[in-house]
């Protein structure tokens, strides 16, 4: 299935990162396929899926990359940060260590991703109320201090999953569309890849190539 | 005496190879016994008495190591973060290993507990490596077949010895294999190799999962067992798993190129081949590719070395420098000029990616 002739105005690449077992793959499957799999396997290497949403009447296609959480594989997975305009940094609200490691992941992004990448801190597994080990306010304060947006989600019962993606994609869209007003692309085409602070190819699909409603 | 032993060993090897390759559907009980040899639990030339002795000693050794982690106190654990991390990762991973198979399905499945115990004991056996993701995938089919904790552990140890470089901290083993794979593709399918290079995929990262766990995620349990037997036997050559990769890529070449797939679509296409591959077809095809290389007059030494074939005899190929120089020299036809360029861009791709 090719994605080239899909109907969209913007294509944003977003990476899911965070410790192993925090629920990255299930956040992805909940958002893109509305599925949650208790028997899901650990991710080896990277996988990705897409879903389109509407913001301000524009169709935004999110290409979400799910990566292996174990530190050992970062040499490989970091190669996939290239071109990402957003990152969901996920921890497990019931496992404090996964929250403590958030700083390491932020360093990882600083080292390997675009400096202007939009980052959202995501406390997943909010359904595990009785096992909560990370306080919402603590994580929220941390996110504020570090200039990240913040949300708690549950891929299992769907709480806030759509909101999390919707929020980060909207935030990226605002930045990109403002940037376009400030700094209109020359001739709308042939923009060198990966040199813009935010690497988004604006309005890549002209109306003439749009298919009849497919989303 | 020495000669008789070596002939006997040879005979056994051939017998087993025969069983595996010709009668691919070996029965579970025969397979249970064959795997112990293939994974160096028993040596090929051992007598029954020696095997009994080995089994006894290995059993004691296993339980000694198991007791070490089982008797760790809470304070010890609290003061040992590396251990705690490994323990937690193992727990997370066994609970998501092959849960769709009946053998591992359901709550409180005792086989999940066994996976956990064997991996924890492996941490004590090889603390430097500890536990790395992917290892539970390698263990699962062995336990499924042998259904014995101690035998499974030692066979797993044998398997890990064969693939331990896949789990290097710096991933050097994986990088080398990806590079070797590129070299093979460049030789067998230069057009595809050029295409991949020109589409940001010359680093072959999209084959990472195949190589890391030897197609465990791509094949059914039954098929992966069949494939692993062939690979463990080292037949028909070392690194045969790379030729399986080449066989898949050759099969998918038209789909990748005709659709003009780029970096992301290539990855997606390859990921989606999972559980759609035919292991018998791939084994046959990969063997065909091997024969082709074996008989090829212009297979350069880089390619031959990967597959354990003797270097071409022409006097000055022994030093690595001359070998790589000759590699470029002997490939001065149209296709091979591409190989040359590809190799350069590939090297660049690899180093960029890791910066």
- pLDDT tens digit sequence for B17-29: 555 555 555 677 7
Chain B residues within an 8 Å CB radius of A91: none
Determine the average pLDDT of the residues in B205-226: 96
The predicted-structure confidence for B126-184, as pLDDT tens digits, reads as follows 999 999 999 999 999 999 999 999 999 999 999 999 999 999 998 999 999 999 999 99
Q: Is the pLDDT of residue B333 over 70?
A: no
How close does chain B come to A21, measured CA to CA in Å? 6
Q: Within 10 Å of residue B25's Cβ, how many Cβ atoms?
A: 7
The predicted-structure confidence for A195-211, as pLDDT tens digits, reads as follows 344 444 444 444 433 43
For chain A, the residues whose C-beta falls within 8 A of a C-beta of chain B are: 2-4, 20-21, 38-42, 44-48, 63, 68-70, 72-73, 75-76, 78-80, 97
Residue B296: Cβ-neighbour burial (10 angstroms; 0-12, 13-18, 19+): middle
Q: What is the dihedral of CA A118, A123, A127, A129, to 10 degrees?
A: -150
Chain A residues within an 8 Å CB radius of B203: 79
Query: Which pLDDT belongs to residue B320?
Result: 39
**CB contact (8 A) between residue B99 and residue A75:** no
Q: Is the pLDDT of residue B121 over 90?
A: yes
Q: Which domains are seen in chain B, by residue range?
A: 31-165 (1.10.8.270), 172-354 (1.10.472.80)
The predicted-structure confidence for B174-214, as pLDDT tens digits, reads as follows 999 999 999 999 999 999 999 999 999 999 999 999 999 99
Residue B64: Cβ-neighbour burial (10 angstroms; 0-12, 13-18, 19+): exposed
Query: For residues B44 and B106, which has the higher predicted lDDT (pLDDT)?
Result: B106
Closest CA to B343 of B226, B221, B202: B202
Q: Is residue A114 part of a domain?
A: yes
Query: Which pLDDT belongs to residue A204?
Result: 42
Identify which of B98, B133, B353 has the shortest CB distance to residue A68. Answer: B133
Query: Which pLDDT belongs to residue B8?
Result: 61
CB neighbour list of residue B309: distance below 8 Å, 6 or more residues apart: B237, B293, B294, B299
Residues of chain A short of pLDDT 70, as ranges, are 1-6, 184-215
**CB contact (8 A) between residue B133 and residue A70:** yes
Q: Is residue A1 part of a domain?
A: no
Q: Within 10 Å of residue A166's Cβ, how many Cβ atoms?
A: 17
Query: Which pLDDT belongs to residue B73?
Result: 97
The residue among B86, B93, B96 with the most chain A CBs within 10 A of its CB, best to mutate, is: B96
Q: Is residue A191 part of a domain?
A: no
Read off the pLDDT band of B109 (50, 70, 90): very high
The predicted-structure confidence for B314-332, as pLDDT tens digits, reads as follows 544 443 333 332 223 333 3
Read off the pLDDT band of B313 (50, 70, 90): low
Query: Which pLDDT belongs to residue B242?
Result: 98
Q: Closest-CA residue in chain A for B174? A: A76
CATH number at residue A105: 3.40.50.300
Q: Is residue A187 part of a domain?
A: no
Q: Is residue A69 part of a domain?
A: yes
CA distances A95 to A99, A127, A128, B207, B316, Å, are 7, 13, 10, 32, 60
Residue B81 contacts A, CB cutoff 8 Å: no
How close does chain A come to B159, measured CA to CA in Å? 19
Q: What is the mean pLDDT of chain B?
A: 85
Q: Is residue A161 part of a domain?
A: yes
The predicted-structure confidence for B228-246, as pLDDT tens digits, reads as follows 999 998 889 999 999 999 9
How close does chain A come to B207, measured CA to CA in Å? 9
Structure tokens at A187: 């001739």
Residue B109 contacts A, CB cutoff 8 Å: no
The predicted-structure confidence for B257-282, as pLDDT tens digits, reads as follows 999 999 999 999 999 999 999 999 99
List b or e across A58-74, with b for residues whose CB sees 16 or more CB atoms inside 10 angstroms.
ebbbbbbbbbbbbbbbb
Structure tokens at A81: 């940060």
Q: Is residue A18 part of a domain?
A: yes
Q: How many domains does chain A have?
A: 1
CA–CA separation, B281 vs B260, rounded Å? Answer: 26
pTM, to two decimals: 0.84
The residue among A45, A74, A97, A104 with the most chain B CBs within 10 A of its CB, best to mutate, is: A45
How close does chain B come to A182, measured CA to CA in Å? 30
CB neighbour list of residue B218: distance below 8 Å, 6 or more residues apart: B209, B210, B273, B274, B275, B277
Q: Is residue A156 part of a domain?
A: yes
Query: For residues B344 and A165, which has the higher predicted lDDT (pLDDT)?
Result: A165
Boundaries of domain holding A164: 7-182
CB neighbour list of residue A102: distance below 8 Å, 6 or more residues apart: A18, A89, A91, A121, A142
Query: Which pLDDT belongs to residue A83?
Result: 92
Q: Closest-CA residue in chain A for B204? A: A76
Query: Which pLDDT belongs to residue B11?
Result: 63
Query: Which pLDDT belongs to residue B311?
Result: 85
Read off the pLDDT band of B297 (50, 70, 90): confident
Q: What ipTM was assigned to the predicted interfaces of this complex?
A: 0.82
């Amino acid at each position: 299935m090719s994605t080239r002739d899909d109907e969209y105005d913007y294509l944003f690449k977003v990476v899911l990162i965070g410790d192993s077992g925090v629920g990255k793959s299930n956040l992805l499957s909940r958002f893109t396929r509305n599925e949650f799999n208790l028997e899901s396997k650990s991710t080896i290497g990277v996988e990705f899926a897409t879903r389109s949403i509407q913001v301000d009447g524009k169709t935004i296609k999110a290409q979400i990359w799910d990566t292996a959480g174990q530190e050992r594989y970062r040499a490989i997975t970091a190669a996939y940060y290239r071109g990402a305009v957003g990152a969901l940094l996920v921890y497990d609200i019931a496992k404090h260590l996964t929250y403590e490691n958030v700083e390491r992941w932020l360093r990882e992004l600083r080292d390997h991703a675009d400096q202007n990448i939009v980052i959202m801190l995501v406390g997943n597994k909010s359904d595990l109320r009785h096992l909560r080990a990370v306080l919402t306010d603590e994580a929220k304060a941390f996110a504020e201090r570090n200039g990240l947006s913040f949300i708690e989600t549950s891929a299992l019962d769907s709480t806030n999953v759509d909101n999390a993606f919707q929020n980060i994609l909207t935030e990226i869209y605002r930045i990109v569309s403002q940037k376009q007003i400030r700094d209109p692309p020359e001739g709308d085409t042939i923009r060198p890849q990966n040199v813009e602070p935010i690497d988004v190819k604006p309005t890549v699909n002209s109306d003439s190539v749009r298919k009849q409603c497919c989303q | 005496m020495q000669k008789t032993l070596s002939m006997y060993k040879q005979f056994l090897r051939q017998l087993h190879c025969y069983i595996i390759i010709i009668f691919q559907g070996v029965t579970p009980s025969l397979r249970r016994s064959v795997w112990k040899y293939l994974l160096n639990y028993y040596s090929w030339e051992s007598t029954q008495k020696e095997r009994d002795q080995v089994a006894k000693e290995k059993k004691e050794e296993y339980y000694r190591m198991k007791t070490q982690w089982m008797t760790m106190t809470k304070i010890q654990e609290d003061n040992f973060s590396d251990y705690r991390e490994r323990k937690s990762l193992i727990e997370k991973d066994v609970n998501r290993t092959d849960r769709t198979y009946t053998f591992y399905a359901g709550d409180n499945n005792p086989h999940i507990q066994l996976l956990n115990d064997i991996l924890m004991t492996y941490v004590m056996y090889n603390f430097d490596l500890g536990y790395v993701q992917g290892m539970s995938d390698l263990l699962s089919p062995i336990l499924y077949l042998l259904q014995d904790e101690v035998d499974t552990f030692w066979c797993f140890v044998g398997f890990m010895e064969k693939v331990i470089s896949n789990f290097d901290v710096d991933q050097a083993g994986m990088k080398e294999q990806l590079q070797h794979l590129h070299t093979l593709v460049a030789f067998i399918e230069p057009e595809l190799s050029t295409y991949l290079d020109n589409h940001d995929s010359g680093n072959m990262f999209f084959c990472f999962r195949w190589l890391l766990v030897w197609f465990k995620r791509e094949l059914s349990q039954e098929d992966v067992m069949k494939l692993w037997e062939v690979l463990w036997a080292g037949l028909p050559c070392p690194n045969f798993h790379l030729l399986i990769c080449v066989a898949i890529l050759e099969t998918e070449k038209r789909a990748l190129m005709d659709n003009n797939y780029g970096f992301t679509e290539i990855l997606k296409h390859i990921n989606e081949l999972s559980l759609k591959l035919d292991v018998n077809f791939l084994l046959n095809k990969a063997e065909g590719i091997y024969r082709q290389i074996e008989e090829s007059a212009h297979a350069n030494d880089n390619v031959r070395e990967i597959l354990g074939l003797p270097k071409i005899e022409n006097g000055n190929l022994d030093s690595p420098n001359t070998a790589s120089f000759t590699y470029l020299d002997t490939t001065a036809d149209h296709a091979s000029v591409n190989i040359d360029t590809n190799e350069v861009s590939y090297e660049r791709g690899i180093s960029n990616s890791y910066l």
